[in-house]
């Protein structure tokens, strides 16, 4: 908190210099969780994204999703990359992760969360979760 009061004038000495060095070191060492879900500007894609957020268990293929917004599958993949900086699969997985974290935080059973997120089993969901966060879903909020 003391770092907030340090004037940004560039000439740092003594305690202030050590404090900022420590702050920078802590930021570098900290682990971050990327939970950003970019929303596209393209109206067709945005409508699809809202639908996928509302129904995370929707397992429609990219081809089916593309057809639902009247574009070719390759166009869908290009649009996702251009509009969100993510692939279609990455975006959907991120949306499911965010949904899952909310449900887990509410105390919902992991198997129910897994099925609600479109995974066929607890173990498939747990493997994806562990790949992203390094811990099992049941351990995340402990």
Long-range Cβ contact pairs of 86-92 (< 8 A, separation 24 or more): 86/38, 88/62, 89/62, 91/37, 91/38, 91/49, 92/52
Q: CA-CA distance, 41 to 64, in Å (whole number)?
A: 21
* Per-residue model confidence (pLDDT) at position 10: 60
pLDDT of residue 123: 93
Label residue 125 by pLDDT band (50, 70, 90): very high
Q: What is the mean pLDDT of residues 78-107?
A: 94
Mean pLDDT of 34-46: 90
Residue pair 104/137 in contact by the 8 Å Cβ criterion: yes
Average pLDDT of the segment spanning 94-103: 93
Is 9's pLDDT higher than 90? no
Mean pLDDT of the chain: 87
Query: CB–CB of 95/53 below 8 Å?
Result: yes
């Amino acid at each position: 908190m003391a770092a907030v009061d340090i004037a940004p004038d560039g000439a740092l000495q003594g305690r202030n210099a050590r404090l900022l060095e420590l702050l920078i070191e802590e930021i570098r060492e900290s682990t971050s969780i990327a939970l950003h879900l970019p929303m596209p500007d393209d109206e067709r894609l945005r409508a699809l994204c809202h639908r996928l957020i509302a129904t995370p268990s929707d397992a429609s293929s990219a081809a089916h999703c593309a057809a639902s917004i009247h574009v070719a599958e390759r166009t869908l993949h290009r649009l996702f990359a251009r509009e969100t900086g993510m692939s279609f699969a990455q975006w959907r997985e991120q949306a499911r992760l965010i949904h899952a974290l909310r449900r887990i935080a509410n105390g919902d059973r992991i198997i129910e969360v897994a099925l609600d997120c479109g995974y066929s089993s607890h173990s498939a969901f747990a493997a994806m979760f562990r790949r992203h966060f390094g811990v099992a879903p049941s351990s995340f909020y402990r």
